[in-house]
Structure 1
Amino acid sequence: MKPISIFLILMWSISIFSQENKISDNEFQLKLDSIKSEGNLLYSLENASWNASDIIRENKMLRNEVGQYLTYKSNDTVKTVFLNKKADKVMVEYLFLNNSKKAIKHRLKERDLNSLELDLKNNREKLISQLSDPKYEVGVPEGFSLNLITIPSGNKFRTYIITGANDSGVIPFGNDYLFVTDKIGNILESKKFHSRLIPQYTSTAQGEMSMSTHSHLKTNSFISATDICTFKLYAPFTKLEKFFVYSPAYSTYFEYDGKKDTLKKVKSPF
């Protein structure tokens, strides 16, 4: 009976996996639209963090006075605030509109943190204190860094961790994570999108690359929002306008076109 039982379990598992991968074209596109929307949100937040940090670095008076920063949506703008060293006051804030590099408004007057900023700060500090647990497999490859992007979601928070490149000429795909936490930062769910860092070097001895492709595991069937965010952050420094992700689970490629902001499945990148 044991060999038969194992065979039945195997066939049941294959059947379930096949059913999960049967999805209509409409459902497929809805899923891709949702991923693209999340990727664009991540980009708008991280882009504001980048630009605000650049402004701070150029300000000799402020750059040695500020500590951590927080970035979040504020109506139709994205706001980045820098806290003092004690992290109990906001020292400076910048507002960005439509992913602009220049702030449309800034405020230098010190103030108390508002309720959302307090939640973001406390949530992030609590989350970071848990990331050293080996079960989450969070690592920092040599020569790279980690960036956290936190999004309020009802009574929970979604925090994405993406890898940042310190050198030019590379798009740091992979080594990215999602943590869903409660309001005070206790981890409720976690996901690792890629098994490792997949750095896409954009220059070779033959010249600059015109296309980027990487593959996902079957356990991560779709392109990820972090893929889109990372590409949008680094592609402007290269000649790349689109990239592709191969999905073994669906035997298809996903194509993201950064210039058109379109995401679709294609048979081949060629």
Structure 2
Amino acid sequence: MKNMLSLIVVLSSWLAVYSQGSYTEIELKLKCDSIIEESNTLYRYETAAWNFTDMFLAKPELMETIRGVLTYQQGDTIKCLVIDDQSQCTYEVSFLNESAPCSEVTTYRSLSEYEMNLIKVREKIRSAFTDEKEYPIYSYKDYPLNWILIPFKDGYKFYAISGTSKGGVIPFGNDYLFIADKEGKIQSWKKFHSGLLPVEVTEQMPMIAFPIHSHLKKEPFISATDICTFRLYYNQTGSTKFAVYSPALSMYFVYEIATNTIRQKI
């Protein structure tokens, strides 16, 4: 009897792991926690960029000489800059949280060495996109890509997530991640979805309570880009949660906005 009980315990443990695609519950939780952490970073970058865009567009004098913008994290804040055609910072805003800026600077200044390097790396990564066969990045009408450069220990992550100015839409899909070394040379890249997967309310369906979509088999987890996109646009559809089905793991990942958490459902 003792041997039989031991066998049942071993088989139960094996089935639990096998049904989750060789991931244990602890491993799944750690993975989901890391995805939430990354999505929080993406959301901070994007909300700062959104608010900053509204602020500098309200200053037409800046638009006469604008060459580009730069967004990056410094300590606890997200800094956003307008850069003119002389490579000078003409407008700078810092955000400590998503709701309001904590500082605003309108004096001209030279870019720091760190800022110049971020621009250099960003442009080097983008220059590789001219090879459409190696990096087939798709564009969709009314759904431009927003790019986010995030430094990490070994180099840079360069995310692309879909945006839209259309109302009542969550623009899931058509999102990418490029990993580059410290010089900006691309080491690897991937896309999370097969294409654009917008969730859109209509007159016939004015509210979408629980949107669900599926991932590519080689992308078994809900992505940080999924969560960031949902947080940016969910209030236009009435949704408070969404799910991603993973064919690779035969399970659903459910994200809930109220708790900013992921749970798994088989």
TM-score, normalised with respect to structure 2: 0.88
Q: Which amino acid aligns with 2:205?
A: Q
| Mapping of residues 1-270 of structure 1, within 5 Å | 21-86=21-86, 88-100=87-99, 102-133=100-131, 134-267=133-266
Separation in 1, partners of 2:91, 2:188? 33
Separation in 2, partners of 1:252, 1:168? 31
Unaligned stretches of 5+ residues in structure 2:
1-17
CA contact (8 A) 2:211 2:243 kept: yes
Separation in 1, partners of 2:91, 2:115? 13
SS state of the match for residue 49, structure 2?
helix
Separation in 2, partners of 1:205, 1:19? 38
Separation in 2, partners of 1:237, 1:74? 31
CA contact (8 A) 2:19 2:249 kept: no
Unaligned stretches of 5+ residues in structure 1:
1-17
CA contact (8 A) 1:171 1:202 kept: no
Separation in 2, partners of 1:220, 1:85? 41
How many residues are aligned here?
A: 248
Q: Which amino acid aligns with 1:50?
A: W
Separation in 2, partners of 1:97, 1:259? 21
User: Post-superposition, which runs of at least 4 consecutive aligned residues in structure 1 deviate over 3 A?
Assistant: none
TM-score, normalised with respect to structure 1: 0.87
- 1:77 Cα offset (Å): 1.2
CA contact (8 A) 1:162 1:176 kept: yes
CA 1:62 to 1:27, structure 2 compared with 1: closer, same or farther past 3 Å? same
Per-residue CA deviation, residues 151-198 of structure 1 (Å, 9 max, x unaligned), is: 011241110011111311111111111111122321111111111111
SS state of the match for residue 220, structure 2?
coil
